[in-house]
A and B are shown apart, each in its own frame.
Chain A
């Protein structure tokens, strides 16, 4: 087999990644622009970051967003893992079609519909809109993503270890916690991160379900963007992109190291 890439493929990759990354890079570069005009470069400056840090409303919104994201992704992790487990391992059970439909539907449901329907539920129950209603809405749509990630990992994993544990007399629940859970832990990390960033990111569902005093960062950004592009928003965006990129890259490196260690151990066992 040939190594390396042919010319056309290299061009496709270069152009493709340029398309994906140039907008984000430009956004980051212009957050350091001295001028308020986003399109004219007037020298390097960090004044927009200073302005951002002093903007209390923005910081409040950021704090609210982090709280919602942390709680909703953690609950979604538990519920989504159970849902993925039910779909991957429990075979047929009454109402399975409805269940799998409900698990997958939020993945493709337009956000405006999810947002509207959740809001109407909260109004019907006369629940005060605020932190908890946004969190519940986020749990509902992000648990679907966790379920899909966990289910596909459970379906592709090697079950011989579980069978060995059961043969050695471990009860199913113990087998799950001692064998299955450690094996699927990378999928759990990925699922949690996915739920976290989806929540961090959501504008539409939060706009419907939040109330006074629970404005999230995307809502704040959106209302400012509608007034025009400002370097301050670029600065906020850069910080967000930086946090998420660091988190994702760190998670994948940890994952890779864990895999290398496991392979080494496996080789050590074989060579013994």
Chain B
């Protein structure tokens, strides 16, 4: 660049601009480096330590005994345990399975809602969006808790079904995987509906009219036009439900049974009940590795969408 030929005031202004940019970026950047990135390095460090009865309850990574040289203590035992004890692998696999099924169910439930919202009269739409968001603002824990009362053996769902006469013995739902599916779909539904709605509402409806004029049936037009156009919303919604569901703790803990293996719960137990911080750290590292692929895919997708919108 020919910066040195620039008149002086320009350069001064550029310097001020740099200062301004720096002051905008610096505080959030430093905060995130220190409180988000550094903690992960520590997790990584402790995942190769051994548990010991001390405070803190793990061995140091480096040791410098008197008169000796610097020693590095790193053990792969925690990772070996995760491979050897089938409990962990089953928990990872089961978490992925439960998250995938819940995501599919959330899409099935969420799509008709988002579609109907996008087709509703303009005057209603702001209110409808608000009504989808409102439950999200109310406590997650409380919304999960509400389902315990509904799904219990002597709960409201069984009461209603018995009163109608559909069943004569209570359905056992609470403390099973089905209750976990219901809990995840219920809790994460707004994350599915909102991106779907955002895409469907922008859809040019004359495309459907054109398809109808050309003799396409409504069902055919739906699969050939509506679904492909809503694809970015479908992808975003599925990621937003799937990724947090894999590491979910509260829902499997309150609604699932003792057999509902999910990795978030295992990590919690290792940490709070077994007090094995190194194994808990190793579980976290592997969970992050499992999730890194969907997370990166999701970020790429969002980036592309933002660029397409801009």
| A and B pair up | yes
Contact in complex: A24, B135 (CB < 8 Å): yes
- Selected from A80, A111, A207, the residue in CB contact (under 8 A) with B28 is A80
Residues of A within 8 A of B189 (CB): 19-20
CA distance A124 to B39 in the complex (A): 9
**Known contacts A12-B113, A106-B36; is A116 also within 8 Å of B280 by CB?**
yes
Residues of A within 8 A of B186 (CB): 19-20, 23
- Selected from A6, A21, A208, the residue in CB contact (under 8 A) with B135 is A21
- Selected from B36, B272, B295, the residue in CB contact (under 8 A) with A102 is B36
- Which of A43-51, A53-61, A236-244 is found at the contact surface with chain B? A236-244
**Known contacts A117-B42, A204-B249; is A13 also within 8 Å of B25 by CB?**
no
Residues of B within 8 A of A5 (CB): 116, 119-121
- Selected from A19, A39, A78, A90, the residue in CB contact (under 8 A) with B152 is A39
Residues of A within 8 A of B40 (CB): 117
Q: Is A182 interfacial (CB-CB < 8 Å)?
A: no
Q: Is B52 interfacial (CB-CB < 8 Å)?
A: no
- Selected from B24, B39, B128, the residue in CB contact (under 8 A) with A121 is B39
Q: Is B130 interfacial (CB-CB < 8 Å)?
A: yes
- Which of B4-12, B85-93, B137-145, B226-234 is found at the contact surface with chain A? B137-145
Q: Is B202 interfacial (CB-CB < 8 Å)?
A: no
CA distance A140 to B139 in the complex (A): 19
Contact in complex: B138, A120 (CB < 8 Å): no
Chain B residues near A (Cβ < 8 Å):
17, 20-21, 24-25, 27-29, 31-33, 35-40, 42-43, 46, 56, 109, 112-113, 115-117, 119-121, 126, 128, 130-135, 137-143, 145-150, 152, 154-156, 159, 186, 189, 193, 205, 239-240, 243-244, 246-250, 254, 264, 267-268, 271-272, 277, 280-281, 284, 287-288, 291, 295, 298-299, 302, 306, 309-310
Contact in complex: B128, A13 (CB < 8 Å): yes
Q: Is A200 interfacial (CB-CB < 8 Å)?
A: yes
Question: Can you list 7 A-B pairs with a CB-CB distance of less than 8 A?
Answer: A90-B25, A93-B25, A110-B264, A118-B35, A123-B56, A241-B139, A245-B134
Who on chain A is nearest to B306 by CB?
A: A155
- Selected from A16, A155, A204, the residue in CB contact (under 8 A) with B250 is A204
Contact in complex: A240, B138 (CB < 8 Å): yes
Who on chain A is nearest to B265 by CB?
A: A112
CA distance A17 to B287 in the complex (A): 34
Interface residue ranges of A172-218 to B (CB < 8 Å): 172-173, 193, 197, 200-201, 203-204, 207-208, 218
Chain A residues near B (Cβ < 8 Å):
1, 3-6, 8-10, 12-13, 16-17, 19-21, 23-24, 26-27, 30, 38-39, 78-80, 82-83, 85-86, 90, 93, 95, 99, 101-106, 108-113, 116-118, 120-121, 123-124, 136-137, 139-140, 143, 147, 155, 172-173, 193, 197, 200-201, 203-204, 207-208, 218, 221-222, 225-226, 229, 233, 237, 240-241, 244-245, 248-249, 252, 256
CA distance A101 to B148 in the complex (A): 37
**Known contacts A120-B43, A155-B310; is A113 also within 8 Å of B150 by CB?**
no
Most buried by B among A23, A99, A136: A23
Contact in complex: B281, A201 (CB < 8 Å): no
Contact in complex: B31, A113 (CB < 8 Å): no
Who on chain B is nearest to A118 by CB?
A: B39
Contact in complex: B130, A39 (CB < 8 Å): no
- Selected from A3, A8, A99, A233, the residue in CB contact (under 8 A) with B145 is A233
A135 CB to closest chain B CB (Å) equals: 11
CA distance A266 to B80 in the complex (A): 68
Contact in complex: B32, A103 (CB < 8 Å): yes
CA distance A13 to B143 in the complex (A): 20
**Known contacts A13-B120, A203-B250, A244-B137; is A221 also within 8 Å of B32 by CB?**
no
Who on chain A is nearest to B142 by CB?
A: A237
CA distance A113 to B134 in the complex (A): 27
CA distance A252 to B137 in the complex (A): 13
- Selected from B28, B121, B126, the residue in CB contact (under 8 A) with A4 is B121
CA distance A27 to B243 in the complex (A): 28
B52 CB to closest chain A CB (Å) equals: 14
CA distance A78 to B32 in the complex (A): 13
Contact in complex: B141, A203 (CB < 8 Å): yes
Residues of A within 8 A of B139 (CB): 200-201, 218, 237, 240-241, 244
